[in-house]
A = this chain, B = another copy of it.
Amino acid sequence: MTKCEIITIGDELLIGQVVDTNSAWMARQLNEMGIQLYQITSVHDDRQHIIAALDEAFSRADIVLTTGGLGPTKDDITKHVLCDYFQSHLIENAHVRAHIEALYQDRPDILNRLTSTQWLVPECAEILENRVGSAPLMIFHRGQKLLACMPGVPYEMKIAMTEQILPYLESKVYSRKSKAIIHKTLQVTGIAESSLAILLEEFENAMPAALHLAYLPKDGVIRLRLSSYGELTEADMQQWFDRLRQLVSDYLIADIDEPMEVLLGRLLTERHQTIATAESCTGGRLAALLNKHPGSSVFYMGSVVAYDNAVKQQVLGVHAESLRNYGAVSEAVVREMAEGVRALMHTDYAIATSGIAGPDGGSEEKPVGTVWIAWATPEGTTAECFHLGKLREQVTDRACLRALIGLLKRIR
């Protein structure tokens, strides 16, 4: 199995100014190609640190990928460190120069002397084009091993990986037909992690050593992942997966590792049905989830974020008495919100949320984390009350998840 490591370079990662979202995305692409990601290491923009990390990564892995440190400013030193590491020197690359000059032809201010340092590259490096930026992609060879360097800006990295680095890896050494890494995931809810593990004890004991089972609990959903790193066939894997699905069928909400909004969107699209949301405590997050993915305009009509009670009344038609008698976080209000937005936007389904996200606003009777959710469907409206924790972000994230799962169940 081909082993890879990622080194992410940048002080911003180590002082917490930036979250590394690149590595997870890269890991998925590598796994799909049958390349195992062994380790991720984040290091400072510091010569000794970068060199030490490279030495260690090369001692373990066949392929090393780096992101970051390739900008034109003084704090970015990756190219210079690598040039020394491979005992090379910088030379002008005519292709890179032409590319950069074309890229910024309408922006003469950017074609300054700092930008012109971007077309200097280590002589020993193979250069691939960075279609959307000024930092060329560099490949270095060390015996049979190789190092590929990309910018750290996520969208530049993604285009670089998709268009250049992955095809390069595939063409040079590593065939997609080699040993396949297979991950298959079930999503379950309504059972504790430890109880699930007891339920699956016999299954786990019977599993071959080449098969791995992982439990990933989050926000009341447990993702159960079966993994094989090149040792099981797709058919064998499928058999184990089917057995696992059978065992957890009482708790199953999905047999694929896709977000709930994608599953719901697909179901609505297939059924030619539409949805709208009316949100108080989730504040637009549910809407944003529903239209996050391409193709959502087919089933998603719109939303009313009714943070203020006046908006609940005037836009959604919630009754003043309901607000007065039961408060905004109540079954009566959330039902009227769901039915109000369903009528307003002429959809098949509507979801409404109203809750106390905190940190303030809680009471003895309705503590922070109390969330009412209603689902209005062609068959009628139902509502449930949840208690979703104490932290604002957690409450809103979990409320969205519960709202989506609730509708999935009702449609099915």
Binding site for B on A (CB under 8 A): 11-21, 23-29, 31, 37-45, 49, 53, 56, 71-76, 107, 109-110, 112-115, 153, 155, 158, 181, 183, 185, 192-198, 204, 212-218, 223, 225, 227, 257, 277, 279, 283-288, 290-292, 294-297, 300-308, 310-311, 314-315, 344-346, 358-360, 389, 391-394
Contacts and interface: CB of A to CB of B under 8 A. Distances in A.
A194 B119 CA distance: 14
B112 A225 contact: no
A304 B307 contact: no
B315 A308 contact: no
A185 B16 CA distance: 13
Given A19-B21, A294-B392, A110 B302 contact: no
Given A13-B24, A307-B300, A307-B301, A283 B294 contact: no
A320 to B, nearest CB: 16
A360 B294 contact: yes
Given A155-B394, A305-B303, A216 B18 contact: yes
Q: Which of A14, A44, A45, A114 has the most CB of B within 10 A?
A: A14
5 contacts: A14-B27, A20-B24, A39-B41, A107-B192, A294-B359
The dominant DSSP class at the A interface is: mixed
Lowest 8 A-B CB distances belong to which pairs? A284-B287, A16-B27, A284-B284, A16-B28, A283-B291, A303-B305, A302-B311, A114-B194
A112 B194 contact: yes
Nearest to A110: B192
A201 to B, nearest CB: 9
Contacts of A197: 72-74, 114
Contacts of A39: 14, 41-44, 49, 53
Contacts of A155: 389, 391, 394
B110 A195 contact: yes
B304 A303 contact: yes
Contacts of A45: 214
A375 B195 CA distance: 53
A291 B310 contact: no
Contact of A38 (B44, B195, B196, B294): B44
A335 B359 CA distance: 35
A18 B19 CA distance: 12
Nearest to A114: B194
B12 A16 contact: no
A304 B301 contact: no
A16 B158 CA distance: 14
A11 B346 contact: no
Contacts of A19: 19-21, 23-24
Q: Which of A17, A286, A296 has the most CB of B within 10 A?
A: A17
A194 B304 CA distance: 43
A303 B315 contact: no
A297 B308 contact: yes
Contact of A193 (B12, B17, B72, B358): B72
Contacts of A311: 301-302, 344-345
